[in-house]
Amino acid sequence: MTALLALTGTELAAVAGALRSGRLGVPVSSSALGRYLPASRALAVAEALALMAGDGAALADALELLRLSREGRMTIERAAQLVTTGPAARGLENRDTQVVVQDLFRRARHSVVISGYKVFNGRAIFEVLGAKLRDVPGFRVQMFLDVQWTERRRTDEAALAGFRSDFVRYQWPEGMPMPEVYYDPRSLGAEPEAVLHAKCVIIDGQILFISSANFTDSAQLRNIELGVMVQSEDLAGQAERFFDGLVGMGYCVGLFGRGV
């Protein structure tokens, strides 16, 4: 049967059409198939067709279903898109990180999940999301961000208080409803156990964008960064469940208490 899987859509259509019109009879011979397929594959295809019960019309229907199934299956090239920041490479067609991120935010209808290691000038980056929280009933934004000690904030309490203050003053659009913000407590301390380093965006549980780029001007506009955007309910859903699990099991906790 694997011989049938190797046929192209054009070859499948040709063989199915010949069976349906009677130009190919059942049982199908490899010599007759040679008019529609390369001789190197005709014998294996004839043997595969011989294992399938039914007349010519039934075989034609089976081949047509195989062809339609193949055409309807989304290939990785159609489902995924390369996203870059940096000097344009000759002959490479892709989209800029900032353009993609802002387009994703505008397209979001009911939910956005963001994970990032660094945020700078977030007010401009997240302006669209702030307006959606204000204007779209039930819209939800979850952000998973890294919080660490600094030279000026050398206790957990100081680091958290400073991060809350900076987020409200510099990283979120002024006057807009607040998102749910979560952090990993293991990132605190003089020698943190771990950092929240994942950088991704999940839109409506349908689109997953994973990138090396942080949510900063330099990463979105100037650095050399590389990412992939995938339209896949399965992958986006898995990523959402991953972050939900981090919150549900207490590995990530709310920066402002329970969410906002």
Q: What is the crossing angle of helices 127-135 and 97-107, to 10°?
A: 0
Judged by DSSP in three states, 227 sits in strand
> Which residues of the chain form beta strands (DSSP E)?
80-85, 95-96, 111-116, 140-145, 180-183, 200-203, 207-211, 225-231, 253-254
Lowest mean pLDDT among 13-22, 55-64, 213-222: 55-64
Higher pLDDT, 243 or 28: 243
63 & 114 share domain: no
Query: 114 versus 219: which is more confidently predicted?
Result: 114
What's the mean pLDDT in 121-126? 94
The total number of structural domains in the chain stands at 2
Range of the domain at 50: 2-72
Please say which residue of 37, 72, 107 terminates a domain: 72
Domain final position from 25, 43, 72: 72
Note whether 123 and 201 are same-domain residues: yes
- Please report whether residue 13 resides in a domain: yes
pLDDT in tens, 246-258: 999 999 999 997 5
CATH, residue 199: 3.30.870.10
Q: Is 70 exceeded by the pLDDT of residue 26?
A: yes
Global confidence as pTM? 0.72
89 in a domain, yes or no?
A: yes
Band the pLDDT of 13: cuts 50, 70, 90. confident
Residues 186 and 127 in one domain: yes
